[in-house]
Structure 1
Amino acid sequence: MSGTREEERRKLADIINHWNANRLDLFEISQPTEDLEFHGVMRFYFQDRMAGNFATKCIRVSSTATTQDVIETLAEKFRPDMRMLSSPKYSLYEVHVSGEERKLDLDEKPLVVQLNWNKDDREGRFVLKNENDIVPKKVQSNGPEKQEKEGVIQNFKRTLSKKEKKKEKKREKEAFARIPDGDELSLSREDGENSRLAAEVYKDMPETSFTRTISNPEVVMKRRRQQKLEKRMQEFRSSDGRPDSGGTLRIYADSLKPNIPYKTILLSTTDMADFAVEEALEKYGLEKENPRDYCIARVVLPPGSQQSDDKAGKETILDDTECPLQIFRDWPSDKGGLVFQLKKRPPDYVPKKGRKPEDRASRGKSLDGVLPPEKMPYLVELSPGRGNHYAYYAYRPHEDGSDSRDKPKLYRLQQSITEVGSDAVDEGSIQLFGPGILPHHCDLMQSDGLVTVAPASYNAETFVDGQRVSDPAVLRSGATLQFGAAHVFKFVDPSQDHGMAKRGVDGGPMVKGRNKSGNIPETTFDLHGDIHSGTALPTSKSSGKLDMERAGNPSERGLVKPMVRAEQEGRSQDSLSPELTLPASIEFRENSEDAFLSAIINYTNSSTVHFKLSPTYVLYMTCRYVLSSHYRPDLSPSERTHKVIAIVNKMVSMMEGVIQETAEGDQKQKNIAGALAFWMANASELLNFIKQDRDLSRITLDAQDVQAHLVQLAFKYLVHCLQSDLNNYMPAFLEDPDEQNPQRPKIDDVLHTLTGAMSLLRRCRVNAALTIQLFSQLFHFINMWLFNKLVTEPDSGLCSHYWGAILRQQLSHIEAWAEKQGLELAADCHLSRIVQATTLLTMDKYSMQDVPNINNTCFKLNSLQLHALMANYHCAPDEPYIPPELIDHVVAVAENTADELARSDGREVQLEEDPDLQLPFLLPEDGYSCDVVRNIPNGFQEFLDPLCQRNFCRLIPHPRSPGTWTVYFEGAECDNHFSADSADLPMRKEPEVVTVTLKKHNGMGLSIVAAKGAGQDKLGIYIKSVVKGGAADMDGRLAAGDQLLSVDGRSLVGLSQERAAELMTRTGSVVTLEVAKQGAIYHGLATLLNQPSPMMQRAADRGRDKGKLRPKSEGGTRAAPIKTKKMSGGPAARTTTTSRTVPPPGEPPGCVCGCV
């Protein structure tokens, strides 16, 4: 290869390496060959107008394949021509989320085009399209008929009514009218067709982890920001060479994003205000807004005041030609603080040159002397879910071009009566549609400073603070108001709300009523009292967030302001995104706080609770409620912090009492164990919530220490309880098979006790790491009880070959049970001394030649134990005696090995086994239920219903929540992992089944897991991960989440993991697999793919590092035992390694994982 060719290959390899570093493993591109050819998997979409959706396929493509080659392959894959009467003509389009679209030439190389996205880390899609489906460009129809022809799923649309057709036509006209004139912004019809295709594919299949190629969008965005920063800094240096020609400037946006303190933008001293507006809008996530509708205002604060103070400063709007950074640098500090606010440009704003004096007398009141609109009571929507709000059915764009769908609405109440109902079309009324909404539903009446709600009839479902009302009821500011089944609002009266009264009105535009066409008024407010008509509400007044940024005085700074940060992060999301809040919230009456907590903790019957962790989730939601401003809005930050600490301490104290009472009670042993397991699980889960919550963790350190002690206390009591139960059946090990006594316990009783303990822990959803530690204690108890019997009762005759064989046989049942449960390593470690003792009793020990074998086999036994076992040995009539010199030699070796090792660990060399297992208790660091529980768990509502019926509390679901319980955790990311909702991503009801022929090397390179999915009655074998560099990885067609249905024609459905692994390793060099693509997601097992394998290994290792070191002679009790089997078949013997662990909470029992 020539030097030039090699250089090209090296550059190409660098580009490919950059691609692979940022993309999902599925889309990894191979290294270039000497001919500069490379391969990679590409995802293609097909706009299937006949089926009414977009189909998608992934195929492996060569860099030499042209567009024509790919189209031919895709046409065969998708096979749409079988359903068409006309001859299709296909084209391949490259589209991007921004709306860009380009038709690929037939001689272009699609894989090379995709690789070019690498330059700016772009994301895009390739769409196969039948050109015969495109409406001819000469067609000029703008009516609904055109939409009927061109829509992706229009074949399935119902016939529109005359009213709906009229609204549809009006919407299209308004949308067309918003397209600006001018050469720069003119759009051809072809461009419109193109942008429509991009919009359709991204609307039909939104960007998710299933459809994107980028593996870590956050890293890519960070790199883009860094590149932009470097470019701007270079501009500053190159403009005039001075280092101070540019810098950063804080831009506040209290009226737009009240819970984001500020954003920092990069400006030069010559950048004007209009440029600063564009930069600030982008920073606040408002880049789609029209910059001409916004402005930068200069606010002068009194000396010594802060931006968060309630003191109003003098405000001046900057002209577009003024330079904010230069103004900031030239500002003298003795004139006060200077800040810059991003805000809506007032409609009556006139530049300084043409400004007229204002009529100050008219400020603050209308001409007729009534309250201005910003002082009027209003309703703000709490549940703007898709499909249940009028704006979803009768969508109209705002006057500023923004979309109003799925955004919270604000409705100002009229001076007298505001009608609510589905037929409420008069000006000022509130029109709603949905389940339970009547044509005339109710009236909101305002009189003498009070607002009452009056249902129009008994059938008009109306709820105030969760209580149904049938007669007129007075509303207080902050009350929740529900109409029908889905429409929930918060009532706010500024005259009652002191917090709102403190904030001055910023001279915003007045509220507009309904226009002549009868459209609903869509009015927006912010925390300063600014009113914005025709724009979406920037933040919900009742989103569960605590607004303390402006409520406290300067002396309270530095105290915990929990919800502010959560609000900041939540507001950075697009308004159409799910609200970053818990799946539900809880509210309780302050005067019944003790009774409420006591009912949750002291009076819960663990045996009747379906979802065993219900107390934990109620208590955590209670903590979040006290943190929010919904709980006693009058509290200052310091008072709220003290209240949170007090209520957490009260929870911990009550839980301590119930654990102590359970352990000391006179209940049956079985009931005590069930209650202790229940409260151990809840105590550990609640501790995890408190420790991980970014707001609670900092202020509850003392409570965390007590709670950690409670978990250990419950663990200790439960161990003693189970050991006591086990002790009743320990004589079963000493049952002589020659003496059949039906009254004596059997080994099956021991196994039944262990199985019952495991079922109890799983039923209570005890953390897997705690389960392993608990069974380590039980295995040690069995070991201790039997071993001490051997060495302390020399006259019992147990130290003999006969009893050694019996005990070994009985112990094998325990080992087999442990292996089925994934506890074989724990059993192997903690039963080691009794196993080695039985081995010593049954092995040859009659000549000096046996000494090395004895010491190598019985290395766990110290010198005292070896001496006792051999000195007390009872020989059979035909068995030779043990030579005394052999005993001396074995004991001498043990003194230099096992004894020394014990002393180095700080343990005494003693004859008997210690009743207590000398290992530190380790609190798990992961594997908790919150990682896998989604939405409101089944059984949780039933647990809370009795309390709600007694008016102790009420549960408020949040349908727009992402569904995870970790949104307030430190470093929480809600979108970067599989979720239960991922099951909705595929377009089909069943996974696509494909056949993959794989050429093996030494193995397939797959990590598999056996689990039973939702609605399935048999185990399935799923790919948990693809081993890097293995045969499957090199092939590229298999991915994590795929279900393996058969191997070489032999079904894997219903087989255990061991049997499936055996079949897969007995294949030849070429294996044929039948695969259900992404079957794990279809079957509700997506969380399996998130669990580390083996899961608890990391938790045990990390916890051990922090706690007391394990004695060297004990070895390591790891959570996932590993066993290796030799398999025959094929050209050479192969090895399969399987690892199993106790199923974590939420994972099906019997779930195992292995590599083949």
Structure 2
Amino acid sequence: MPETKEREKLAEVIRQWNSNRLDLFEISQPDENLVFHGVIRFYFEDHTEGSVATKCLRVCSSSSTREVIETLSEKFRPDIEKQSTDYSLYEIHKDKERKLDLDERPLVIQLSWTSNNREGQFVLRKKQESLKESCHEKEKGGVLQSFKRTLSRKGKKKERSQAKDDDKASEDRSAEGLLNNNNICLSSLESLKYCKEIKTNLILEAEEPFLSAVINYTNSSTVHFKLSPAYILYAVSRSALQRQHSRSSPSSANTHAVTSITNKMAAMMGKVIQRQQAITGALAFWMANSSELLNFLKHDKDLTQFTQQSQLGLSHQVHNAYSFLLHCLQSELRKHLPTFLIDPEQHGALPAEMVLNTLMNAMSLLRRCQVNPALTIQLFSQLFHFISAWLFNQLMVPETNPPGLRSHYWGSALRQRLTPIEAWAERQGLELAADCHLGHIVQATTLLTMNKYSVRDAKDIQSSCFKLNSLQLRMLMAGYLFGTSEPQIPPVSSPPLH
């Protein structure tokens, strides 16, 4: 049992770490021996060259500093035969640094940053003795190396300048030849026109494979800048418009080229959203990118007139991604909401709050994907409403499960379990959405726990439970289960509640 508790505690710390980090640095859940794996970014300060290098290394929680240093010394400087004892590993924070002992565990140290809400770095450095020797050698050879680099750069610059002059001279000779022979000039112009048409056709043929590569083969979990597809597709749209303008073609041709390519973008996004409609990460990613591209097209004064149809298509894709994502999150909540109805007296304290974890993971995902704040607020409003409606419906059914749900005891228990969700929503700036959409269940729990035993309490009920209609009030009061020491509601006080 102690091992199980320790494993659960470690798993919770790892979940907190993963919720605030990129997928690349996600730490695996511990096995039965409490061993886990994760990726650490290491920095290497090379004072001899005045540079800093970085590498990401997947390590085990049981890997010691000595083992990590041996691996890093091979990764950073494979060209130099050095002993691992020539290097030390440091843990650096903004206000201090610390040298790691050889038997410490870097991955365990990195995970411990979660408890103090700290951010740090691991830096590999040479020991001071090695640094002094290196600095002496650098002083002897530094001037010569700088001189060689200067000569090399000047030589390369001279070669490039000579090549440019040769190209210009050949162009001038070609131009003179064209001017001296009218037949060759006409022939060459026709060839140039034909080549230009071929080039345009090749560009048009390459558009669809390029769009497919950007939309169909982008991995939403590994790409660093989550809105990169939207920015790339916007640049492609601008390029198509510029290409048509440079050809001096009629306005209808411009319209056709830009409209055609943006319509393809919207259609491809729709297909990838349909294909991944059960994957929350992909849905959030494409909802963010389709809404961002839609925003670009709407506010670009040159493109907006040619992309009205595409904007409608993108708006439809945003709606689809939003609906699929909402359905996935509601399904996840539906699995965990029954934990609200676990009797604390019979089963002990409430287990790990999976409902709140679902909301936290959803917020982390939306922020990682840089989803529009308006969409984020709208999505969480729907989730809060779903939580409220599910719990409220449990109170409204004639035969509640568990029995006696309409009682002071359960009203207090449900209110206590809703409080962490309201507190979290306030920290996220969602307090208005939570107050509005959790209102029904909150006021229902208020009614179950407040004084309602005399006519004088009717006004308090009316002011505190204004979101509940007369039928809901009647249902809550008609099936109310009185506690052993709780006074009965007198018949005279029933009519005002109706």
Is the CA contact 1:725–1:753 (under 8 Å) kept in the aligned structure 2? Answer: yes
In the TM superposition, residue 844 of structure 1 has moved relative to its aligned partner by 0.7
Q: In 1, distance between residues paired with 2:222 and 2:311?
A: 28
Report matched runs for 1:45-124 at 5 Å.
Answer: none
Aligned AA for 1:723? Q
Q: In 2, distance between residues paired with 1:674 and 1:784?
A: 26
Is the CA contact 1:616–1:683 (under 8 Å) kept in the aligned structure 2? Answer: yes
What is the total number of aligned residue pairs between the two structures?
324
Aligned AA for 2:381? S
Aligned AA for 2:404? G
Is the CA contact 2:227–2:289 (under 8 Å) kept in the aligned structure 1? Answer: yes
Task: Pick the aligned partner of 1:761 from 356, 366, 386.
Answer: 366
- Partner SS state of residue 217, structure 2: coil
Matched with 2:282 is 675
Structure 1 position 439 matched with structure 2 position 439 = no
Matched with 2:426 is 819
Q: In 2, distance between residues paired with 1:619 and 1:435?
A: 40
Q: In 1, distance between residues paired with 2:286 and 2:353?
A: 29
Matched with 2:468 is 861
Matched with 2:63 is none
Is the CA contact 1:683–1:710 (under 8 Å) kept in the aligned structure 2? Answer: yes
Matched with 1:953 is none
Matched with 2:387 is 782
Q: In 2, distance between residues paired with 1:794 and 1:849?
A: 30
Q: In 2, distance between residues paired with 1:597 and 1:497?
A: 33
Aligned AA for 2:158? P
In the TM superposition, residue 608 of structure 1 has moved relative to its aligned partner by 1.1
In the TM superposition, residue 747 of structure 1 has moved relative to its aligned partner by 5.2
In the TM superposition, residue 494 of structure 1 has moved relative to its aligned partner by 12
Aligned AA for 1:440? E
In the TM superposition, residue 634 of structure 1 has moved relative to its aligned partner by 6.6
CA gap 1:590/1:494 in 2 versus in 1, 3 angstroms = farther
In the TM superposition, residue 496 of structure 1 has moved relative to its aligned partner by 6.5
Is the CA contact 2:244–2:254 (under 8 Å) kept in the aligned structure 1? Answer: no
Task: Pick the aligned partner of 1:637 from 251, 262, 268.
Answer: 251
Higher strand proportion = 1
| Normalised TM-score (structure 2) | 0.61
- Partner SS state of residue 595, structure 1: helix
Is the CA contact 2:263–2:313 (under 8 Å) kept in the aligned structure 1? Answer: no
Is the CA contact 2:245–2:254 (under 8 Å) kept in the aligned structure 1? Answer: no
Matched with 1:595 is 209
Aligned AA for 2:480? Y
Report matched runs for 1:1064-1143 at 5 Å.
Answer: none
| Normalised TM-score (structure 1) | 0.27
Aligned AA for 2:422? E
Q: In 1, distance between residues paired with 2:347 and 2:243?
A: 71
In the TM superposition, residue 886 of structure 1 has moved relative to its aligned partner by 2.2
In the TM superposition, residue 495 of structure 1 has moved relative to its aligned partner by 10
Report matched runs for 1:270-349 at 5 Å.
Answer: none
In the TM superposition, residue 636 of structure 1 has moved relative to its aligned partner by 3.8
Matched with 1:710 is 317
Is the CA contact 1:733–1:810 (under 8 Å) kept in the aligned structure 2? Answer: yes
Task: Pick the aligned partner of 1:605 from 202, 216, 219.
Answer: 219
Matched with 1:696 is 303
Structure 1 position 729 matched with structure 2 position 312 = no
In the TM superposition, residue 843 of structure 1 has moved relative to its aligned partner by 0.5
Report matched runs for 1:96-175 at 5 Å.
Answer: none
Matched with 2:411 is 804
In the TM superposition, residue 794 of structure 1 has moved relative to its aligned partner by 3.4
In the TM superposition, residue 739 of structure 1 has moved relative to its aligned partner by 2.6
In the TM superposition, residue 590 of structure 1 has moved relative to its aligned partner by 2.8
Higher helix proportion = 2
Matched with 2:484 is 877
Structure 1 position 773 matched with structure 2 position 497 = no
Q: In 1, distance between residues paired with 2:389 and 2:188?
A: 71
Is the CA contact 1:846–1:880 (under 8 Å) kept in the aligned structure 2? Answer: yes
Task: Pick the aligned partner of 1:648 from 250, 262, 265.
Answer: 262
| Sequence identity percentage | 53
Matched with 2:141 is none
Q: In 1, distance between residues paired with 2:406 and 2:205?
A: 68
Is the CA contact 1:732–1:747 (under 8 Å) kept in the aligned structure 2? Answer: no
In the TM superposition, residue 691 of structure 1 has moved relative to its aligned partner by 0.5
CA gap 1:829/1:447 in 2 versus in 1, 3 angstroms = closer
- Partner SS state of residue 874, structure 1: coil
Q: In 1, distance between residues paired with 2:383 and 2:408?
A: 26
Report matched runs for 1:377-388 at 5 Å.
Answer: none
Matched with 1:1125 is none
Once the two structures are superposed, what CA deviation does each residue of 1:500-551 show, in whole Å capped at 9, x if it has no partner? 99xxxxxxxxxxxxxxxxxxxxxxxxxxxxxxxxxxxxxxxxxxxxxxxxxx
Q: In 1, distance between residues paired with 2:208 and 2:347?
A: 58
Q: In 2, distance between residues paired with 1:732 and 1:494?
A: 83
Q: In 2, distance between residues paired with 1:879 and 1:804?
A: 14
Q: In 1, distance between residues paired with 2:394 and 2:385?
A: 14
- Partner SS state of residue 456, structure 2: helix
Q: In 2, distance between residues paired with 1:683 and 1:846?
A: 56
Aligned AA for 2:233? L
In the TM superposition, residue 727 of structure 1 has moved relative to its aligned partner by 1.3
- Partner SS state of residue 589, structure 1: helix
Aligned AA for 1:616? A
Is the CA contact 2:244–2:253 (under 8 Å) kept in the aligned structure 1? Answer: no
In the TM superposition, residue 630 of structure 1 has moved relative to its aligned partner by 7.6
- Partner SS state of residue 482, structure 2: coil
Q: In 2, distance between residues paired with 1:602 and 1:635?
A: 32
Once the two structures are superposed, what CA deviation does each residue of 1:1068-1104 show, in whole Å capped at 9, x if it has no partner? xxxxxxxxxxxxxxxxxxxxxxxxxxxxxxxxxxxxx
Q: In 2, distance between residues paired with 1:447 and 1:815?
A: 73
- Partner SS state of residue 738, structure 1: helix
- Partner SS state of residue 652, structure 1: helix
CA gap 1:647/1:852 in 2 versus in 1, 3 angstroms = same
Aligned AA for 1:750? V
Matched with 1:614 is 228
Structure 1 position 624 matched with structure 2 position 248 = no
In the TM superposition, residue 632 of structure 1 has moved relative to its aligned partner by 7.3
Matched with 2:118 is none
Is the CA contact 2:415–2:445 (under 8 Å) kept in the aligned structure 1? Answer: yes
Aligned AA for 1:731? P
Is the CA contact 2:234–2:296 (under 8 Å) kept in the aligned structure 1? Answer: yes
Matched with 1:4 is none
CA gap 1:435/1:799 in 2 versus in 1, 3 angstroms = farther
Task: Pick the aligned partner of 1:657 from 260, 267, 271.
Answer: 271
Report matched runs for 1:141-220 at 5 Å.
Answer: none
In the TM superposition, residue 885 of structure 1 has moved relative to its aligned partner by 3.6
Task: Pick the aligned partner of 2:353 from 748, 752, 761.
Answer: 748
Matched with 1:841 is 448
Is the CA contact 1:840–1:858 (under 8 Å) kept in the aligned structure 2? Answer: yes
- Partner SS state of residue 766, structure 1: coil
CA gap 1:806/1:680 in 2 versus in 1, 3 angstroms = same
CA gap 1:841/1:439 in 2 versus in 1, 3 angstroms = same
Q: In 2, distance between residues paired with 1:868 and 1:654?
A: 51
In the TM superposition, residue 882 of structure 1 has moved relative to its aligned partner by 2.1
Q: In 2, distance between residues paired with 1:756 and 1:620?
A: 30
Is the CA contact 1:733–1:747 (under 8 Å) kept in the aligned structure 2? Answer: no
CA gap 1:755/1:435 in 2 versus in 1, 3 angstroms = farther
In the TM superposition, residue 692 of structure 1 has moved relative to its aligned partner by 0.4
Alignment RMSD (CA, Å): 3.0
In the TM superposition, residue 748 of structure 1 has moved relative to its aligned partner by 2.0
Aligned AA for 2:371? V
Q: In 2, distance between residues paired with 1:729 and 1:494?
A: 78
Matched with 1:794 is 399
Report matched runs for 1:977-992 at 5 Å.
Answer: none
Aligned AA for 1:701? Q
Aligned AA for 1:758? M
Matched with 1:409 is none
Aligned AA for 2:379? L
Once the two structures are superposed, what CA deviation does each residue of 1:145-172 show, in whole Å capped at 9, x if it has no partner? xxxxxxxxxxxxxxxxxxxxxxxxxxxx
